[in-house]
Amino acid sequence: MTEFLQQLLNGISLGAIFALIALGYTMVYGVLRFINFAHSDVFMVGAFVGYYIGRHVPEHTLWGGFLALAGAMAVCALLGVIIERLAYRRLRGSPTLNVLITAIGVSLLLENLGQFFFGATPRPFPELFPVTTFIVGGVYVSSNQLVVIGVTLGLLLALEFIVHRTKIGTAMRAVSLNPKAASLVGINIDVVISFTFALGSALAAAGGILYALNYPSIDPLMGVLPGLKAFVAAVLGGIGNIPGAALGGLLLGIVETFVNGSADWSSYKDAIAFAALIIILLFRPAGLLGRFTTEKV
């Protein structure tokens, strides 16, 4: 029982990070109907910004940790806006495939720039937050796992609030529903889309830092695998749907952890995760929470 609870906790903390990255995929898809493959590399940049800020703030302090988190989110929000302005805006209205290929190009560009500037050697990531381990009924809970779950939950609620309770959120949903009609009623589409990218990239940066806190070795290709998993999580939950992305991330993290913990099946963990995806999509083609007609942001 203790082992089961421990694995469940391991799975939830892994899934929370997938969920955080998945939110960024799903939001950009919701508004623009395209997959921003550069998202996982913004995640990497976020971790590196956190690394550099982390060298200038004291380790093991709450304010230092949140400063690095906020700094990385701000830098990546700007990066997201710049990427959209330079790479995607000109392609708006062109076939989806063109934008998709451009996104892959931006992704490779970021990875190679990362290797050029940061070097390909993995670096140890500083311990930004105070680290303690709690033992609850035989289950070991590290404070970093709690930070991951807490920050993900907080950002998820903030996102729900922004999308459903604010003016810009209403504008985002309007653009998502019908861009032309939205601009006819006076919504500045450029601003809305820039904001979407800023928000999504900030979430990626937060994901990057939380990931690096739990797995403190960072390199320019660190985003590739979690990015892929998060994309799967977004599709699993119903791409374009915010609670769906969170649910998909959690499910994927938990399934992967339990498969990993069983000695006989652990080499097939990716195969099993993807098989689960295929089966769910066979029965619910729009994902767990996705509906074809629902409003999507």
Partner 1 sequence: MPSLRSRLLPALVSFVCGAAALAADDPIRIGEYGAFTGKDADFGIAARKGVILAFEEANATGGVLGRKVELLVEDNQSKQGESATIAKKFVSRDKVVAVLGGNLSNHSLEAAPVFQNAKIPMVAITSTNPRVTEMGDYIFRVCFIDPFQGAALAKFAKDTLKLQRVAVITSVNNAYSVGLSKVFREKFTAAGGVIVADQKHNEGDKDFRAQLTAIKAAGAQAILHSGNYTEGALICRQARGLGFTGPLFGGDAWEGPELVAIGGAAVEGTYYSTHASAESATPAMQGFVKRYRARWDGEIPNATTTLGYEAALLLFDALKRAGTTESKALRDALAATKDFPGVTGGITIDAQRNASKPAMIVVVQDGKFKFVEAVQP
Structure tokens, 129: 């937050």
The one among 225, 271, 275, 279 contacting partner 1 by CB under 8 A: 225
| Distances in whole angstroms, Cα of residue 70 to Cα of each of 50, 54, 122, 194, 223 | 9, 12, 23, 19, 19
Pick the closer one to partner 1 by CB: 58 or 124: 124
The one among 7, 57, 189, 274 contacting partner 1 by CB under 8 A: 7
The owner of tokens 């509906």 is 291
The one among 231, 260, 287, 296 contacting partner 1 by CB under 8 A: 260
Name the segment binding partner 1 (CB under 8 A); options: 95-103, 192-200, 255-263, 272-280: 255-263
The one among 41, 84, 111, 256 contacting partner 1 by CB under 8 A: 256
| Distances in whole angstroms, Cα of residue 36 to Cα of each of 83, 104, 276 | 10, 8, 23
Structure tokens, 251: 């499910």
User: Smallest distance from the beta carbon of 127 to partner 1, in angstroms?
Assistant: 8
3-state secondary structure of 293: coil
Structure tokens, 58: 């004291």
DSSP state of 125: P
The owner of tokens 């700094």 is 71
Q: Does residue number 216 form part of the binding site for partner 1 (CB under 8 A)?
A: yes
The one among 135, 136, 184, 185 contacting partner 1 by CB under 8 A: 135
| Distances in whole angstroms, Cα of residue 239 to Cα of each of 126, 142, 169, 253, 289 | 34, 31, 18, 17, 9
φ, ψ for residue 218 (rounded to 5)?
Answer: -115, 145
The one among 136, 184, 263, 278 contacting partner 1 by CB under 8 A: 263
The one among 105, 124, 154, 285 contacting partner 1 by CB under 8 A: 124
- Contacting partner 1 within 142-201 (CB under 8 A): 142
Please report which residue ranges of 123-216 form alpha helices under DSSP H.
Answer: 143-165, 167-177, 179-184, 189-214
The one among 266, 271, 275, 285 contacting partner 1 by CB under 8 A: 266
DSSP state of 126: P
Contact 37, 100 (CB under 8 A): yes
Q: Does residue number 40 form part of the binding site for partner 1 (CB under 8 A)?
A: no
Count residues near partner 1 (CB under 8 A).
Answer: 34
- In this structure, which amino acid lies at residue 237? G
Q: Does residue number 271 form part of the binding site for partner 1 (CB under 8 A)?
A: no
The one among 59, 160, 219, 295 contacting partner 1 by CB under 8 A: 219
Q: Does residue number 249 form part of the binding site for partner 1 (CB under 8 A)?
A: no
Site residues for partner 1 per CB under 8 A: 2-3, 6-7, 10-11, 14, 115, 119-122, 124, 133, 135, 140, 142, 214-217, 219, 225, 256-263, 266-267, 270
